[in-house]
Amino acid sequence: MSHHRIVITGIGLTAPNGNNLEEFRSNLLNKVSTIQNIETRYMGTVHAGVCDFDPLKYQKRKAVRIGTRAGSIGIYCANEAIQNSGIDWENFNKSRVGVYVGTTEHGNVETENEIYNISKYNYDTRFWSHHHNPRTVANNPAGEITINLQITGPHYAIGAACAAGNAGVIQACQMLQLEEVDFALGGGVSESIHTFGIFAAFKSQNALAQHEDPTKASRPFDMERNGIVVSEGGCLYTLERLDDAKARGADIIAEVSGWALNSDALDYVLPNPERQAQCMRAALKKAGKEVKDIQIVNTHATSTKQGDIQECEAIGEVFGGSDSTYINNTKSFIGHSMGAAGALELAGNLPAFRDKMVHPTINVDELDPQCNVGKLVIGEAVELDRVDAIFNNSFGMLGINSSLVVTRFQD
């Protein structure tokens, strides 16, 4: 593999509290959460992070009707990222564009809806939608993006549980380094709030958040945390080799300097702090960075009792001795956007290269002593002298771990 440097040149996102990076960042710094109560089939009222982007900005009504929510999220993010990148899209060779979209799962929403629909007709499959197969194949969100944008290069979805957003970025970087593509869209999407099954499953695990105020339900590290707030969302980056970005005069947002993926090989659900720490160290090594070089660590912490503690144990082992490293969490604002989480949470921190602010973690009224690790930024943003490197953790079920190191671009 060549050693091409890979840079981010565009960002497109939709989050429960913002439909572009400027709005998203402003709400993080101003402590604005928009988690709300929704009604879901068989479950009644649940807390959820809901996006309010306009799918008709980039799609026709027919395309929205026959496609999926994940596809619409991906199409919105991809178009926004391409516009943000400033690339001459009309004249770019689209056979040299790759689309790598991380997803936690795909197809559950459509299958649940179709089964519910035919239940009204005594389960007569003549009423089953002929759109079901293309809606539920694993590559759907990435494929819908290629149809919308007429991309003829490779596309696929990357199933990496809640590490998928980071995995989509990593795959894009690797394919650019291999020179398989010249321009890539990488990140993740989630439509999870539209399936009742995910709420039911977390509830059965005693891992579904409950609070009288939905905006306070997602509370990582807090003594009273009691589970996950499920959210939808998406974030895709345009990524390029540095030489290509410079040649076209691109505005370079940041450099993806290092990454790592590994597996716990332990349990279906319970994480392994030792393997998480190994993943973090591997990403640092690939980036050529020491612990003291990292100013911000964005945590994966989901507000589950044990998961938060174990991640803090791993972070403490790797970063605990650093006086220059500050630690925050984005899920406290937007809940857990599953396959989009890693990419969205990274995006929320990237503006720190310019504004030098570490956005806070909210809803921590009483810090769990077992989560008291390093310089946790709680309640109020912290301004630093400079931010040169951001570290992003994203972990998932079946023990998949991912870490990204993104740095201020320096030629």
Alpha-helical segments (H) within 178-249: 196-204, 242-247
Confirm whether 336 is a catalytic residue.
Answer: yes
Which of these is catalytic: 300, 312, 359, 371? 300
Task: Name the token pair of 310.
Answer: 């174990």
Amino acid identity, position 59:
Q
12 burial class (0-12, 13-18, 19+ CB within 10 angstroms)? Answer: buried
Answer yes or no: 162 catalytic: yes
Quick check: helix, strand or coil at residue 310? helix
Strands 382-383 and 400-407 come out as: unpaired
The one catalytic residue among 51, 77, 162, 173: 162
Residue 196 in 3-state DSSP?
helix
Token duo for residue 170: 């990593």
312 is catalytic: no
- Tokens standing for 331? 């899920």
User: Tokens 């709005």 identify what position?
Assistant: 23
C-alpha to C-alpha distance for 387 and 391, rounded to whole angstroms: 11
Q: Output the six-digit token pair for 186.
A: 């990488």
Which of 69, 53, 162, 61 lies closest to 109 in space, CA to CA?
Answer: 69
Q: List the catalytic residue out of 47, 106, 336, 359.
A: 336
- DSSP code for 15: B
DSSP state of 205: T
Residues known to be catalytic: 162, 300, 336
